[in-house]
Chain A
Amino acid sequence: MNHIIFISMCSLIAQTALAQIRVDENTFGDIKTRQIGPATMSGRISALDAVDRNPAILYVGAASGGLWKSKNYGTTFKPVFDKYNQSIGAITIDQHHPDTVWVGTGEVWVRNSTSVGDGIYKTNNAGETWQKMGLDKSERISKIAIDLKNPDIVFVAALGNLWNSSPERGLFKTTDGGKTWKKILYIDENTGCCDVAIDPGDPDIMYAGMWEFRRTPWSFSSGGKGSGLFRSTDGGKTWSKITTGLPAGILGRVSISISPVRSGIVYTLIEAEKTGLYRSGDKGITWNLMCQSEAINDRPFYFSFLALDPVDTNIVYKPGFNLFKSTDGGKTFGSAAVEGGNYHSDCHPIYIGKKDPNLLYMGTDGGVYYSMDKGNTWRFMRNLPVSQFYHVSTDMADPFNVYGGLQDNGSWYAPSRVSSGITNSSWKSVGFGDGFYVYCDKLDSTILYWQFQGGKIARYSLRTGEYKSLTPFREKEMKELRFNWNTPMVFSPNGNTFYTGAQYLYKTSNRGDTWKRISPDLTTDDPKKEKQEKSGGLTVDNSSAENHCTIYTINESPFDSLIIWAGTDDGNLQVTDDGGKTWTNVVKNIPRLPVNTWCSYVEPGRFDKNTVYVTFDGHRMGDKTPYIFRSPDLGKTWKALADTSIKAYCHIIKQDLVNPNLLFLGSESGLYISLNGGQNWACFKGNIPKVPVMDMVIHPRDQSLVLATHGRGIMIIDDLTPLRQLSQEFQDADVKFIKAKDYVIREHSFNQEWNGDDEFIGQVPEESAPILYYMKKRHVFGDIYIEIYDPEGKLIKKLPAGTRKGINQVNWTIRMKPPKVPVSPQMEGEAMTGPNYSPGEYTVKLIRNNEVLETKIRLLSDPKSIYSLEDREVRQTALMKTYNLLESLAYLDRQAKEIRDKATTLAKGVPKPLARKLTEIATRMDTLHMKLVSTKEGKVTGEEKLREKIGFIYGSIMSYLGRPTDSQISGLDILSKEVDSCKTIANDLLAGDLVRVNQKLVTLKKEEIKVISEEAFNKEP
């Protein structure tokens, strides 16, 4: 209890002190997210196009993960659109000028979780820079067609808003390269243009598909009077709806494809009461029904794409749950894959090689695949980290693991840190279907919990690999349970109990074997919104995606397990302070929040049990306003926290664990941070595009912020402590140190893999101690650098300093300089790095022109090291002995070579007896040199002298933080004695023959043979 009072006091003090801090997009400076992927399951691909003349150049548009370009058939990719909207609807390359690419934003496979676009963009330099070309309010662009003769004439099929009526939809045309647009085909505010095609043989002939469609939070409707196939014979000036040969009645989604071989042949896929594929052989005048099979019927709103072979007019590809192919002009369809077919289901765009029709690129709900045999067998592109997480959690392993579920890609976990990089194989799958919340049991790390859509919960054993279904069933005489597509499953912060919610809230304290209902129906229970079996429009589509009047977010107060909050998708916000006996709907107290707005997240305060933060998301009813509120009194009164910098609807808000005014906001368009309790926000741009941030967790031990992005996988800000410290004091100072977290020297693993260049590898934290400071303004002129002093006050390192505005981070690789080694034609690879500095407190100075700032940084041994202190000390002693032995060997070799070279030179100009002596000395020293170090040139000489032998022991001890082997220690002793005996040879010469020779040289007025002192040698760089 005292602890709570203390935290509350801290909170009050902090709130007073920090209340005025304002942030902007440069405040966070060098603080960046680390993207760990995964790419192993990739994510939903909505569009792609390749250059016909050189299909190695490929653009891939992700549903919510941006635009990627490959110039090598997909071996490597680069994101080329990170500054802009990340939901891609259409990509069209101007094939006559392939550096010009048009990109329409807003995914057009309009599932419940789809994102939103903001218009059309163009590049004239192959993706290097982009220009916004308007249609800002079109929300979704489904196709872009470029006139074959004049690239400034472009037609854009704008689908328009999914969730509400909107006038900016239909077919648009520009004749000035996108400067101005004219709407040339428009039905009404509910009907969008879903496809457009220009006859390549006669560009006056055009086709357009119009589609009436709408989502609400509780339904989807495909089809309406506005839908239909339209044809123009005057380049789009006038249009007529085609009815002859096509189905009568209400139509749904329409797709069009013109044969690249013979433009008179046109196919259209039309959703209707009986969805069918139709073919025209006369430029769209008459049409024949070709097929109404399962291949054609797959979810028409989600799979509406046709691709025609550029050589054979009878080959038609139809993506659906799987890829179907017809070889008879669309009469019959079979699987394109005969020998293969191990690709992700749910196929969307396809590109067929124009020069080589064997080449197919295909985008699916799980990334991009390519085939070199017309779809028979497939390879996966393992390098597109566009994974779409819904949620994320972590555990207390060290390094901690990250768990999460993804759109159509199940449930996964992976370590947050792997020395050699987080590869696709680092990720382990534990579930199937669409994945959501995934957790590790708090008490038994071999037990995981995962979900699939519609509230299906499972408990998974890592020991056996089996899972047990845990989904609660309704009690007697109660209504059927309604679970959201993305059903909450949330652990209590106060124990190993967890909650899930249908319309009722359930709690379990025995890992899901028993559920206790702790609420009445917390939703509006509106029967009009509970007719999902009728959802879909023309084609029933009831996947649980439209389940409504359900609990969507749950959280228990960290202060009081009796205080539980639940937000519902139909706009209720309920709270109990007696563990569920009584509930109060407090949503009515929130000012200016539209009724029934979806409650997307509730975050009980971490510093005060009466405080709560909440986000609402109205985009499913056409309201994209960011709604963020805070209540200090359990929901009685509320304050709105959104400011104008926030440009998108909101999914989640999190309060920091230490600084109550530090808030993190996950929006549909990136991460926002506030340092003053939500009075002002700034978009966080550190290595994160404007991707949806759906969930977040702050790791309580590592102080990391882990983000579940819906389009770019998991991202981690490794250390929040710099953000926690930012106060007005920092913003007032020109430059000021930020206290860095103690740096733990860790053991690291080693592995050797040569996986090629085509695999995404997740970033790992730099193995270096961060030095942090805040600068008000960029430092441009004059010196700025960092000095590091060891605990004894000795200067050990000078580092270049960061100079940017905001937080600067300089990474100090905590290693001594490598040992000096005798010079050889062979690199001594084992001695390329120096030992770590010892744990202790080091002084850091920032020198900025004449100003000196000072701080401390502590290096710590890993408290969880598996090696005893004694073993680590034995290692350090042996390592430094080896280090010093190499350095003394380097000096000895330098002495030998200097004497050898000088004696050889002097022997040429002195009387014969002295010359003979000098030559003999040179030979002795050369022999000594040859004993010390390898001297042969060549790549694989295998030569091992003292340098190489000592170097091997040095490398062996370096690579392991525990006790060296006895053999290493005894071997070191033997080598040390050998070095001593070599030193004796040199010392005997220096004290004996060389003294006598030098006397003779003085007599002859020649230069004496002197060698560099050890002190001077050590000072050399």
Chain B
Amino acid sequence: MKTRLILFIAISLLGSMACWAQEAKLDDILSAYYKAIGIEKMKEWQTVTVTGKTISQGMEYPVKVYMKRPGKLRIEVEVQGNRMIRSFDGNQGWSIVPWSGSSDPQDMTTDDKKEMKSQADLEGDLYNWKEKGHKAELIGKEDFEGSAVYKIKLTKADGDIETWFIDAENYVPLKMAATVKIQGNETESECYFSNYSEFNGVLMAKTNTNKFKGQTVSQMETDKMEINLPVSDSLFIKPVKK
């Protein structure tokens, strides 16, 4: 970790010098970001199992997340001993909300699948944006709560927009503002990333804070992140209705 921190300082200094010398270019910023978080190491990850909690209005709910390449994701949130499940196998998605009146799995809407697909992308939407059919542009450099950030606008292939705020000193994302179409309506939200910690050689934000209209609506805290544990494909397959 210490070595990595020294590396960040070095990157930061280099970054500052580069700023003086010339306008930062999108590719340079993204490369520095990938290098800073150690994205190459992430490519060795086949599965990720996250244990944590989500906090909303002062209440905490245990959360378990399973991710598996390519593009599989299952999220379980426990409320009063019941598990709400959202699962996506790369193509199909389903959910079980036990307190909704039925414990049968329900098919996800196209919008939900779109969101799950985005979340299942381990490296994130920005990485290899061209190959993914997205369009990225560097909007500029500005102040974000006392930190200089590069603002990158990513227009995704499906039309949704993500604006990334990359710390100009450490080259990690501090915030992402999303404009997403749900049920044909555009809706905006923000996610703040903090508590960057190393997991198997990769820096990940342990705390994700979700905001809507400037107000915090929930926070996701990672307690444990286990890499390459066996994760069965059956977790992502829709169970048969009772």
Interface of chain B residues 10 through 53 with chain A (CB within 8 A) = 53
**Set B101, B147, B206: member contacting A778, Cβ < 8 A:** B147
Complex: how many Å from CA A29 to CA B145?
7
Contact with A along B156-187 (1 / 0, CB 8 A): 00000000000100101010000100000010
* B128 in contact (CB, < 8 A): no
Which chain A residue has the least Cβ–Cβ distance from B147?
Answer: A778
* A823 in contact (CB, < 8 A): yes
Asked whether, in the complex, the Cβ of B143 is within 8 Å of the Cβ of A26, the reply is: yes
Asked whether, in the complex, the Cβ of A805 is within 8 Å of the Cβ of B194, the reply is: no
Residues of chain A within 8 A of B179, CB atoms compared: 128
Asked whether, in the complex, the Cβ of A803 is within 8 Å of the Cβ of B80, the reply is: no
Residues of chain B within 8 A of A815, CB atoms compared: 58-59
- In the complex where A26-B143, A800-B209 touch, is A827 in contact with B101 (Cβ < 8 A)? no
Residues of chain B within 8 A of A782, CB atoms compared: 1, 195-197
**Set B80, B167, B194, B219: member contacting A784, Cβ < 8 A:** B194
Asked whether, in the complex, the Cβ of A784 is within 8 Å of the Cβ of B195, the reply is: yes
Which chain A residue has the least Cβ–Cβ distance from B209?
Answer: A800
- In the complex where A129-B139, A781-B8, A827-B79 touch, is A803 in contact with B58 (Cβ < 8 A)? no
Contact with B along A456-480 (1 / 0, CB 8 A): 0000000000000000000000000
Asked whether, in the complex, the Cβ of A833 is within 8 Å of the Cβ of B59, the reply is: yes
Asked whether, in the complex, the Cβ of A805 is within 8 Å of the Cβ of B221, the reply is: no
**B109 nearest CB across to chain A (Å):** 20
**A511 nearest CB across to chain B (Å):** 43
Residues of chain B within 8 A of A780, CB atoms compared: 167, 170, 172, 174, 194, 196
Residues of chain A within 8 A of B100, CB atoms compared: 939
Complex: how many Å from CA A94 to CA B186?
21
**B133 nearest CB across to chain A (Å):** 20
Complex: how many Å from CA A26 to CA B146?
5
Asked whether, in the complex, the Cβ of B5 is within 8 Å of the Cβ of A781, the reply is: yes
* B207 in contact (CB, < 8 A): yes
* A55 in contact (CB, < 8 A): no
Asked whether, in the complex, the Cβ of A831 is within 8 Å of the Cβ of B145, the reply is: no
Asked whether, in the complex, the Cβ of A779 is within 8 Å of the Cβ of B146, the reply is: no
Interface of chain A residues 809 through 838 with chain B (CB within 8 A) = 812-813, 815, 817-818, 820-828, 831-834
* A756 in contact (CB, < 8 A): no
Asked whether, in the complex, the Cβ of A805 is within 8 Å of the Cβ of B147, the reply is: yes
Complex: how many Å from CA A800 to CA B55?
9
Contact with B along A263-291 (1 / 0, CB 8 A): 00000000000000000000000000000
> Which one of A799, A821, A834 has the greatest number of beta carbons of chain B within 10 Å?
A799
Residues of chain A within 8 A of B118, CB atoms compared: none
Known A779-B194, A823-B82, A827-B79; 19 more pairs at CB < 8 Å: A25-B143, A778-B147, A780-B167, A780-B172, A780-B194, A781-B197, A782-B195, A782-B197, A785-B195, A800-B55, A800-B207, A800-B221, A804-B147, A805-B146, A818-B59, A825-B82, A827-B80, A827-B82, A1021-B78
Contact with A along B52-80 (1 / 0, CB 8 A): 01010111101000000000000000111
Asked whether, in the complex, the Cβ of A1021 is within 8 Å of the Cβ of B53, the reply is: yes
Asked whether, in the complex, the Cβ of B58 is within 8 Å of the Cβ of A813, the reply is: yes
Residues of chain A within 8 A of B58, CB atoms compared: 768, 812-813, 815, 833
- In the complex where A782-B195, A804-B146 touch, is A827 in contact with B170 (Cβ < 8 A)? no
Which chain B residue has the least Cβ–Cβ distance from A804?
Answer: B145
Interface of chain B residues 73 through 109 with chain A (CB within 8 A) = 78-82, 98-103
Interface of chain B residues 214 through 229 with chain A (CB within 8 A) = 214, 219, 221
Residues of chain A within 8 A of B59, CB atoms compared: 813, 815, 817-818, 832-834
Which chain B residue has the least Cβ–Cβ distance from A767?
Answer: B58
* A993 in contact (CB, < 8 A): no
Asked whether, in the complex, the Cβ of A937 is within 8 Å of the Cβ of B102, the reply is: yes
Complex: how many Å from CA A278 to CA B167?
60
Residues of chain B within 8 A of A22, CB atoms compared: none
- In the complex where A778-B146, A827-B99, A1021-B62 touch, is A803 in contact with B81 (Cβ < 8 A)? no
Asked whether, in the complex, the Cβ of A825 is within 8 Å of the Cβ of B103, the reply is: yes
Which chain B residue has the least Cβ–Cβ distance from A30?
Answer: B145
Contact with B along A909-949 (1 / 0, CB 8 A): 00000000000000000000000000001110000000000
Complex: how many Å from CA A831 to CA B79?
11
The SS class assigned to the A binding surface is loop
**A679 nearest CB across to chain B (Å):** 21
Residues of chain B within 8 A of A890, CB atoms compared: 81
Residues of chain A within 8 A of B8, CB atoms compared: 781
- In the complex where A778-B147, A1021-B62 touch, is A800 in contact with B101 (Cβ < 8 A)? no
* A806 in contact (CB, < 8 A): yes
Which chain B residue has the least Cβ–Cβ distance from A768?
Answer: B58
Asked whether, in the complex, the Cβ of A805 is within 8 Å of the Cβ of B172, the reply is: no
Complex: how many Å from CA A833 to CA B143?
38
Which chain A residue has the least Cβ–Cβ distance from B101?
Answer: A939
**A716 nearest CB across to chain B (Å):** 16
Which chain B residue has the least Cβ–Cβ distance from A947?
Answer: B80
* A533 in contact (CB, < 8 A): no
Asked whether, in the complex, the Cβ of A687 is within 8 Å of the Cβ of B214, the reply is: yes
Complex: how many Å from CA A383 to CA B221?
35
Asked whether, in the complex, the Cβ of A831 is within 8 Å of the Cβ of B80, the reply is: yes
* A578 in contact (CB, < 8 A): no
Asked whether, in the complex, the Cβ of B81 is within 8 Å of the Cβ of A823, the reply is: yes
Residues of chain B within 8 A of A820, CB atoms compared: 80-81
The 4 closest A-B pairs by CB, nearest first: A813-B58, A805-B146, A26-B146, A823-B81
**Set A71, A800, A831: member contacting B219, Cβ < 8 A:** A800
* A758 in contact (CB, < 8 A): no
**B242 nearest CB across to chain A (Å):** 9
Residues of chain A within 8 A of B82, CB atoms compared: 823-825, 827
Contact with B along A94-125 (1 / 0, CB 8 A): 00000000000000000000000000000000
Residues of chain A within 8 A of B174, CB atoms compared: 778, 780
Residue pairs across A and B with Cβ atoms less than 8 A apart, 12 shown, are A25-B143, A26-B145, A687-B214, A780-B167, A781-B8, A782-B1, A800-B195, A805-B145, A812-B58, A825-B99, A827-B82, A833-B58
* A513 in contact (CB, < 8 A): no
Which chain A residue has the least Cβ–Cβ distance from B192?
Answer: A803
**B101 nearest CB across to chain A (Å):** 4
- In the complex where A781-B5, A800-B219, A833-B59 touch, is A806 in contact with B196 (Cβ < 8 A)? no
Asked whether, in the complex, the Cβ of B194 is within 8 Å of the Cβ of A821, the reply is: no
Complex: how many Å from CA A375 to CA B155?
41
Residues of chain A within 8 A of B214, CB atoms compared: 687
Asked whether, in the complex, the Cβ of B80 is within 8 Å of the Cβ of A828, the reply is: yes
* A188 in contact (CB, < 8 A): no
* A234 in contact (CB, < 8 A): no
Interface of chain A residues 325 through 340 with chain B (CB within 8 A) = none
Contact with A along B200-241 (1 / 0, CB 8 A): 000100110100001000010100000000000000000000
**A600 nearest CB across to chain B (Å):** 31
Contact with B along A125-137 (1 / 0, CB 8 A): 0001100000000
**B194 nearest CB across to chain A (Å):** 4
* A202 in contact (CB, < 8 A): no
> Which one of B53, B55, B59, B209 has the greatest number of beta carbons of chain A within 10 Å?
B59
Residues of chain B within 8 A of A768, CB atoms compared: 58
Residues of chain B within 8 A of A813, CB atoms compared: 57-59
Residues of chain A within 8 A of B172, CB atoms compared: 780
Residues of chain A within 8 A of B167, CB atoms compared: 778, 780
Which chain A residue has the least Cβ–Cβ distance from B81?
Answer: A823
**Set B1, B101, B186, B209: member contacting A71, Cβ < 8 A:** B186
Contact with B along A675-688 (1 / 0, CB 8 A): 00000000000010
* A783 in contact (CB, < 8 A): yes
**A157 nearest CB across to chain B (Å):** 31
Residues of chain B within 8 A of A806, CB atoms compared: 145-146
Complex: how many Å from CA A784 to CA B99?
35
**B147 nearest CB across to chain A (Å):** 5
Asked whether, in the complex, the Cβ of B170 is within 8 Å of the Cβ of A781, the reply is: yes
Complex: how many Å from CA A832 to CA B143?
40
Complex: how many Å from CA A26 to CA B142?
13
Residues of chain B within 8 A of A128, CB atoms compared: 179
Residues of chain A within 8 A of B145, CB atoms compared: 26, 29, 778, 804-806
